[in-house]
Amino acid sequence: MSALLYCDDHVAVADKPSGLLVHRGWGNDRDVLMMRVRDELGCWVYPVHRLDRGASGAVLFALTSDTARILAGAFERAEVHKRYVALVRGIPEEHGIIDHEIPRRPNGPRVPAVTDYRRLEVFGRYALVEARPRTGRLHQIRRHMKHISCPLIGDVRYGKGEHNRLFRDNYGLHRLALHAAELRFAHPVTGEQVAVTSPLPDDLRLPLEQLRGAA
């Protein structure tokens, strides 16, 4: 099955499954999303942003070094709009803005980071939220939701082990409950707006359906 959600002569957006790294440089894995996209297109590709191994969803690649440079600049200027969905422990406010500095890299200095969020559904002690990060910091959504006492389900670093185990045992959720559902950006060559969506994969969609059925 194709991993591509969108492709033209200059850019491609691929649908990353949970558990797969974007780039081999971020680990020792032989199978990474970048190589899958390269093999499918038959040309070298350039990842211009990151998505956590445990997360799934839309990842943007450039097909030339020039477009990679343009898109990297767009990310730096916060001109690329990203929408995520996440399942969290706890019930956040209906909507809000998390403005909380976090390290740019492990053990690095804290830098400004802002995330808009909106609560979509409530399942007892848990909630489904939509998150739109204004900045692109390492583990930003995971850190920010923990900051408001609503850590993500399946997050072994910032979450709670007892809740992760409950979802593994009762709902078959064996992954980080974070999905990059949409990317919107100005095309690096034409300037036209491109919007690409990624549907929820079964390993996240089915547990959510079980939660709805139990509500």
SS3 25: helix
Pairwise CA distance, residues 112 & 95, whole Å: 20
Instruction: Compute the CA torsion angle 95, 159, 133, 186 (nearest 10 deg).
Output: -130
In the chain, what's the furthest Cα-to-Cα distance? 50
| Catalytic-role residue among 8, 52, 116, 203 | 52
Pairwise CA distance, residues 54 & 87, whole Å: 13
**Whether residue 52 lies in the annotated active site:** yes
Strands 178-186 and 56-62, by their bridges, are parallel
Catalytic residue set: 52
